[in-house]
Amino acid sequence: KQEVTQIPAALSVPEGENLVLNCSFTDSAIYNLQWFRQDPGKGLTSLLLIQSSQREQTSGRLNASLDKSSGRSTLYIAASQPGDSATYLCAVMSGSRLTFGEGTQLTVNP
């Protein structure tokens, strides 16, 4: 059974700092990995999708990497802003299932 772990569970940083969120998964036979953002009381917004054949994806200040062999992904956020405050979820597609981690709650302080 696929298990996804996200570390840290919560992170508080000052505005402008570069930061890294970590995601690990137990079964490396994945189709893809997707990073989502969830604001309080809201739905999930897709940030980046990395297919199993890819090593990284970039969108603006966000960069996600994937190392299938070690079962790890990182989400790098450059020059963080208060508007980046949210919960970030990592989800892995394997078999016919999407398995989620429990998320990292990020607070960026002005």
Cα separation of 105 and 72, whole Å? 19
Of 15, 17, 67, 102, the one binding other proteins by CB under 8 A: 102
Per DSSP, what are the bridge partners of residue 107? Answer: 12
Of 89, 92, 106, 108, the one binding other proteins by CB under 8 A: 89
Number of chain residues interacting with other proteins (CB under 8 A): 23
- The residues in 23-52 that bind other proteins, with binding defined as CB under 8 A, are 31-32, 34, 36, 41-46, 49, 51-52
CB-based contacts of 94, cutoff 8 Å, min separation 6: 2, 27, 29, 30, 31
